Structure 1
Amino acid sequence: MWQSSSNALTREMFIPGKSSVQVPVLIVGAGPTGLCTSLLLSRYGIPSLLVERHASTSIYPRATGVSTRSMELFRQWGLDQRVKAAGFELEDASAPVSLTLAQPELTRLPLGFPSAQEVAAVSPVTPCACPQDALEPLLLERARSYAEAQVVFGTELTTIEQDGVGISATIIDRSTANATLVRAHYVVAADGAHSRVREHLGIAMQGPDQLGNYLSVLFRADLNRLIKSHVHGLYFIQHPEASGIFVPTSTDGRWVFAMEWHPERGERLEDYDSERCIRLVRTATGVPDLDVELLGVQAFPFAAQVAQCYRKGNVFLAGDAAHRMTPSGGMGMNTGIHDAHNLAWKLAAVLKGWADITLLETYESERRPVGLHNTRRSNTRRVMGKHEEDEESWSDLEIDLGYCYESKVIIPDLPAEDGTAPARSRLTCQPGRRAPHVWLTRGGKRISTLDLYDQTLTLVTGSAGTSWCEAADRVARAHGVPLVAHLIGLEGELRDGDSHWDETYRIEADGALLIRPDGFVAWRKPGMIRDPQTELHHVVDQIVGHSPS
């Protein structure tokens, strides 16, 4: 039986063949979303068990684009440089279109990622390309570096039941058929587009599930002389006999050629043997005698679906289990990573007792609208050469950094007394949005404001905000919540020598903001008020879900 909430962090080591084990959080699926969930929970001191039915991390490149926001998170976790080293920089944010790779460009299409110049103004990092089979081992290594994390491959979840107190799940070692009963307080289902957990819970997917069938031909060949060493994320090919997309997946000549095929017309995967696949690659490159090493062929359908709900009881859907996107726009994997970042701190806050269980309700209310928007965008961009816009246009940078959460733990700004309209840009410091990046100096070293927002609630105030800092200290002790305060100004520990912080965060020197552990603004007060402690007390009460006292 699950132990009381006072022992919510009790966990037992999973040993293959052991009849039962208890852990606070069971994670199903060791793709990027599941691995990031494990890693994040460990950083908060929450034990977890992650099970993956396959024998290892992905052996195929799958997703390759790592967005700006994902790179910001990897930087926070000390992984950004390793991710860049395992992948490669995208030299251009557009995709060339040509008849074959050897022939002149006809036009260029937007890739779905912002340019390096756009990103430099708003982030300490830049997006990059890192294929999933290179990214996952890095995430796995970091996840396993924490004592709190257990990651087990070749192990499949077969049953899951909720009883109002916790969850009982059966996992099977696929090599021995040994079964283990896992007792967990929460389950995070990150088990992919065809999630068995989601199916078991009876959660329906909404949206088109058959937008086309595609083949992914993985091969190795030297294409440098054709691309002239200018690496783009995609290359569109319009040859009538080999129409498709080339995707670079490494710096040593490994590529994917993706093309539509038609099983509905009787085509079979066996029809695409080595000889035919190599011939398609040669036709698409425009080099009839190209030396091609075929590495594999996979079939995959395109869909644009979102789960009807992201939670049922104590089970949460994340990543592809919650939203199926087409590869267009490159946000499928990234959206899953951001799901994990939103959910992990909330699970940790509830399990550690400093937030009410109602905080968990905001996972769906905050993340499902993002999943809907990104999924819809992946569908409208799907057809080559077609670039539909939403009713209100979003830039590629805003898609990644500019969405705004609306939930009961976000306290919106009051209307301006002078009637001034709110800023139109989505890259602002408005409550519900990602707290912006500004370079600061601490101890002679340059740091980003993003470095301040990690694992705790964080109050930031200007040079005249000492009263806010004192109030934060008292409220943290009274509430028993992890709350730290930083004063930013021309002098002191955190220096804003260029006055960019004041301009970007839009508060006076005696104003304050409260930033959540996931780096999103929860509340903002432009200037000092008479009783900052009482104000902050009520703000923290609302954010952690406690009734005002």
Structure 2
Amino acid sequence: MSAARVDVLVVGAGPVGLTASILLSRLGITHEVVEARAGLHTAPQAHVVSPRTMEILTRACGVDDSALRAVATPFGQIPVVRWVETLIGREHGNFSLVTQDRVEKMFATTPCPPANISQHRLEPVLLAAALDAGGTVRFGHKWESSTAADNEVTSTVLSHETGKRPEITSRYVLACDGASSPVRRHAGITMDGQAMVEMFTSIHLVGDLRPALGDRPGLLFWCIGGPTRAWFVVHDIERECVMMHPGDPDAPPITDAIARQLVRSAVGTDLDVEIASIAPWRMSSQVARTYRSGRTLLAGDAAHRFPPTGGIGMNTGIADVHNLCWKLADVLAGRADEQLLDTYDVERRPVATTNAEQSLHNHLKMIEVEDAVAAESGVAEAIARQEEHFDMTGLDIGFRYNSAAVINDGIATAHDSGFNPVTDVIATAAPGHRLSHAAVTVDGEMMSSIDLARADDFVLLVAPGSSVWNGCGIPTIEVTGADETWATIRGTDDSGAILLRPDGHVAWRAATAPADPAETVRRALAAARSARRATDQFTQQPK
């Protein structure tokens, strides 16, 4: 039997693999998704859906925002993080996730506020979107091995239902198969960083927590200074939560009876809940040494493992495939050199390294609160110092790519002395940055500037009536600012232009019109797609 043939084989049907499927379908790339599990996840796992992820899902993927909000934790249940002895016991202090300043900063940065969506509720929305877009997802199919030859890869996949091992031939294999990634191991890619930070047991509880929480709802509860050290992630106060309990990695697995004792001790009373699952997991802080080996590419947890403190693991993975899929499309269509794919590693791996380090820093910094509770002194101050744990907008949106797919204009992005790269975002259209949010008007329609990106092509942003850019050979959009924000962000005069990549990051900009605009854009676009750094390949010629 001949092997099935597709452009891309996606291994793994978690949030990252399903997002990749949606993007690939929308870009016209043939692909299949294979997943060893019989179906989607049934336990909450990841839950923070960041503003940038909401932008990607609703804008680039076309997922209905209302469908995502419908499965999110109700807003009234999430504004506070609490440190307590037990769920019903004394509260040491709390951190407000929602403040007036934070809300104003967020809506100045993005039109897409974050959401708390448990992974087992997010995945059905993404699966439906992937199937609607034309993707194929095979559950119960375990990727086993692959062999590269010429310009393709042939993968062997085990069907759990039939016991047969069909082959799938693809141009590329995209590993979205989780932290233990068989594809990564098969490719011989190693991980850098700490493989073991701490060992935990995740206890998934199904039932109503209101009898324990009463009038103090919250998203997270850290139980410290009491009989049992643990933390609770409350996914829905009326339906379910997860209790995380640290333990000895060499100890035997926790039984149902022991889990019930731990839950009672951390709650402070008997709670009428069902233990749906008990799963040990290892907290790591690691990043793959490379994101590419030949025709195999890594994304999501296959490429990086973060402590969950900050909730950016899944979000980083979704941004990975958003960066990668348009590049695959350009290479497969012959619009770009294959070495454009090397910029995926160059651009995304530094982001993951920073995020891994910050997540580990957040985890270790939480010890300050425990120390203050033990000393019965300085608890409020220690909690206030956790802001970077709960506000990572800068890491989510403010990062800047520096690769051969970005033509730097040499203009530094300015920020004030109080700028914090973890929490704050620079409003800018500097090359490498995601084009900042501003209210703009295009053909009389009001929108956000982040909506100017086209998932399937580069676009050129110019001022209304700027005819010097006519005939550049790529889609051109005349943009008018709805207020002074756009004029501040763009960094050009009315004769200048911004070249925007399909992922919404700026590839190049001209502060003013060059002598030959059409030829300059052609060379800028060629430089971004060929991903060759050469001083003689692109030199802007001012007018």
Partner of 1:14: none
What's the CA shift string for 1:80-102, capped at 9, x where partnerless?
22111111255566521111122
SS in 2 for 1:509: coil
Could you tell me how far apart the structure 1 residues matched to 2:354 and 2:436 are?
21
- 8 Å Cα contact 1:109-1:385 kept in structure 2: no
Over 3 Å counting, the alpha-carbon distance change for 1:123 and 1:310 in structure 2 is same
Partner of 1:515: 500
How do 1:423-462 residues align onto structure 2 when only pairs under 5 Å count? 423=415, 426-427=425-426, 428-442=428-442, 445-455=445-455, 456-462=457-463
How do 1:368-517 residues align onto structure 2 when only pairs under 5 Å count? 368-383=349-364, 384-386=366-368, 396-415=392-411, 422-423=414-415, 426-427=425-426, 428-442=428-442, 445-455=445-455, 456-468=457-469, 470=470, 474-476=471-473, 483-489=474-480, 496-517=481-502
Could you tell me how far apart the structure 2 residues matched to 1:37 and 1:260 are?
33
Partner of 1:151: 137
Partner of 2:104: 117
- 8 Å Cα contact 1:239-1:284 kept in structure 2: no
Equivalent in 303, 320, 332 of residue 284 of structure 2: 303
- 8 Å Cα contact 2:15-2:123 kept in structure 1: yes
Over 3 Å counting, the alpha-carbon distance change for 1:543 and 1:181 in structure 2 is same
Over 3 Å counting, the alpha-carbon distance change for 1:115 and 1:546 in structure 2 is closer
State the 1:290 CA deviation.
2.5
* Unaligned segments of structure 2, at least 5 residues: 370-381, 420-424, 539-543
Could you tell me how far apart the structure 2 residues matched to 1:215 and 1:415 are?
49
Deviates more, 1:114-123 or 1:25-34: 114-123
- 8 Å Cα contact 2:442-2:478 kept in structure 1: no
SS in 1 for 2:244: strand
Deviates more, 1:381-390 or 1:298-307: 381-390
Partner of 2:233: 247
Over 3 Å counting, the alpha-carbon distance change for 1:404 and 1:97 in structure 2 is same
Equivalent in 354, 358, 361 of residue 342 of structure 2: 361
How do 1:15-164 residues align onto structure 2 when only pairs under 5 Å count? 19-76=2-59, 77-90=62-75, 95-108=81-94, 115-147=102-134, 149-164=135-150
Over 3 Å counting, the alpha-carbon distance change for 1:409 and 1:169 in structure 2 is same
Partner of 2:314: 333
TM-score (norm 1): 0.86
Partner of 1:279: 261
- 8 Å Cα contact 2:310-2:390 kept in structure 1: no
SS in 2 for 1:298: strand
Aligned residue pairs, count: 505
1:314 aligns with 2:258: no
State the 1:173 CA deviation.
0.6
The AA in structure 2 aligned to 1:28 is V
Over 3 Å counting, the alpha-carbon distance change for 1:415 and 1:379 in structure 2 is closer
Could you tell me how far apart the structure 2 residues matched to 1:402 and 1:231 are?
31
1:541 aligns with 2:526: yes
1:235 aligns with 2:234: no
State the 1:394 CA deviation.
12
The AA in structure 1 aligned to 2:259 is C
Could you tell me how far apart the structure 2 residues matched to 1:412 and 1:27 are?
33
Partner of 1:13: none
Q: CA RMSD in A?
A: 2.7
SS in 1 for 2:475: strand
Deviates more, 1:508-517 or 1:72-81: 72-81
Equivalent in 296, 304, 311 of residue 323 of structure 1: 304
State the 1:202 CA deviation.
1.0
Could you tell me how far apart the structure 2 residues matched to 1:372 and 1:357 are?
25
* Unaligned segments of structure 1, at least 5 residues: 1-17, 477-482, 490-495
Could you tell me how far apart the structure 2 residues matched to 1:230 and 1:525 are?
53
Could you tell me how far apart the structure 1 residues matched to 2:109 and 2:217 are?
24
Deviates more, 1:248-257 or 1:291-300: 248-257
The AA in structure 2 aligned to 1:268 is P
Could you tell me how far apart the structure 2 residues matched to 1:394 and 1:216 are?
21
- 8 Å Cα contact 1:215-1:300 kept in structure 2: yes
Equivalent in 252, 272, 279 of residue 268 of structure 1: 252
Could you tell me how far apart the structure 1 residues matched to 2:362 and 2:240 are?
26
State the 1:283 CA deviation.
2.4
State the 1:509 CA deviation.
1.8
SS in 1 for 2:21: helix
SS in 1 for 2:32: strand
SS in 1 for 2:430: coil
State the 1:19 CA deviation.
4.8
Deviates more, 1:276-285 or 1:111-120: 111-120
Over 3 Å counting, the alpha-carbon distance change for 1:251 and 1:227 in structure 2 is closer
State the 1:541 CA deviation.
1.0
SS in 2 for 1:215: strand
What's the CA shift string for 1:147-174, capped at 9, x where partnerless?
3x21100001111111242111111111
- 8 Å Cα contact 2:210-2:237 kept in structure 1: no
Could you tell me how far apart the structure 1 residues matched to 2:500 and 2:335 are?
16
Over 3 Å counting, the alpha-carbon distance change for 1:394 and 1:298 in structure 2 is closer
The AA in structure 2 aligned to 1:397 is T
State the 1:250 CA deviation.
2.8
What's the CA shift string for 1:435-485, capped at 9, x where partnerless?
0111234566532111121222111122352322x1xxx332xxxxxx311
SS in 1 for 2:435: coil
Could you tell me how far apart the structure 1 residues matched to 2:288 and 2:95 are?
30
State the 1:190 CA deviation.
0.7
- 8 Å Cα contact 1:218-1:257 kept in structure 2: yes
- 8 Å Cα contact 1:19-1:179 kept in structure 2: no
